[in-house]
Structure 1
Amino acid sequence: MRTNVYFVRHAHSEYTPDELGRPLSKRGIQEAERVTEELLKQENISVVLSSPYKRAIETVAGIAGALGTEVIPIDGFRERLLSVQPVTDFSAAIKKVWEDHTFSLEGGESNKDAQKRGVDALIHVLDTYSGENIAVGTHGNIMVLIMNHFNNDYGFEFWNNLDMPDIFKLTFDGLKLAGVQRLWNRDWQSIDLRKNGQLE
């Protein structure tokens, strides 16, 4: 039985140090409306899940509202913690963790640890909602780490070229990845992959 997981990288948000409560910006709210429009128009979404971070929830909340359901938070889909302290050179730090799968900054998650968390969450979702079309509000780094588990072509350069928001449809036969399709159109907006040196 095939299950479709629609990973939705959250829309634009104004940077604040509050990772959990950071909301979408005005621009992000407009982008989230387009996400809702496109997924409801193209895909038969039946379940809406999200990282517990507000910006991810707000990006997919319109889908849940149109379906008359709630967004279900899944902690495993939260963004990877790069470091407990702000990093002075974000580009160098994020490149380093992608170059060394086991490396982590002080208090942060390595690629290996964050990937396991995300993949464990995905496997639980695939077991729980087998045969469904599932929208998942999430974040760029953890999304690509999950995809990298199934195909290592999805790595640093792939992440570095994502849009915000972005949508990828992953089709599974059981727990086997059978296909990946990008649904977001780059022409819909101009994007900024980073805000003030922090992961979006």
Structure 2
Amino acid sequence: MNTFLYFVRHADSTYTPDEWNRPLSDQGINDASLVVERLKLENVDYIVSSPYKRAIQTVEGLAVLLDCEIQIINEFKERKIADKPVVDFNKTIKKLWSDQEYSIHGGESNQNAQERGVKATIKVLQQYKGKNIVIATHGNLMVLIMNYFNKRYDYEFWQKLSMPDIYRLTFEGTELKEVNRLWSNNYS
């Protein structure tokens, strides 16, 4: 019996230093409605989300359409890069991906963020075995989780993500069988 996880990278957000409450931008709101249109075709059973507002907003239209509650799972929040904003975000991410144990003061290493995300993913797979589950999360954490199951999902893969983006991961138990990109704003 397969379990399908639909990882949804959140739509575009309006930057604020407040990670928890950063809202979707106008473009993000428009794209979130397209995410709903795509996911309503997937017979979704459950929706879980990062506690961050931008992730919740990306899937809340689907929750309304399906009349289901969004379960907040803190472990699906984005990985913390550092205590304060970094000067060159892309250079910092590249360094973090090149050394799995490297971290900046107050931030998470790839290894620590991956362990957190994978633990939550396995819990979802066990709790909702045989179901279709949407997981609203963040690009870096999503790819770290995917990387755990298949090393081809790496820094270069992360660079090609869009906001939003949807990947369907097919699992048999906790073994990843297949990954399909269902939609990205690069297709619109």
TM-score by structure 1 length?
0.92
Q: Which amino acid aligns with 1:9?
A: R
Unaligned runs of 5+ in 1: 189-200
Within 5 Å, which residues of 2 pair with 1:92-107?
92-107=91-106
Aligned to 2:64: 65
Distance in 1, matches of 2:187 and 2:125, equals 32
1:108-142 Cα shifts (integer Å, max 9, x gaps): 00000000000000000001111110011100000
| CA distance in 1: counterparts of 2:176 and 2:2, whole angstroms | 10
Distance 2:149 2:55 in 1: 23
Shift of 1:187: 2.3
Q: Which residue identity does 1:95 align to in structure 2?
A: K
**Following TM superposition, where does structure 1 have runs of at least 4 consecutive aligned residues deviating by more than 4 angstroms?**
none
Question: What is residue 17 of structure 1 aligned with on the other side?
Answer: 17
**CA distance in structure 1 between the partners assigned to 2:124 and 2:85 by the alignment:** 32
SS of residue matched to 1:19: coil
Two-structure CA RMSD over aligned residues (Å): 0.7
Aligned twin of 1:111? 110
Quote the Cα distance in structure 1 between the aligned partners of 2:6 and 2:22.
Answer: 22
Whole-Å separation in 1 of the counterparts to 2:132 and 2:125: 10
Counterparts of residues 35-184 of structure 1 (less than 5 Å): 35-41=35-41, 43-184=42-183
Paired residue secondary structure (1:65): helix
The separation in 2 between residues aligned to 1:187 and 1:88, in whole angstroms, is: 31
Percent identical: 55
**1:70: Cα distance to partner?**
1.0
Q: Which residue of 2 aligns with 1:198?
A: none
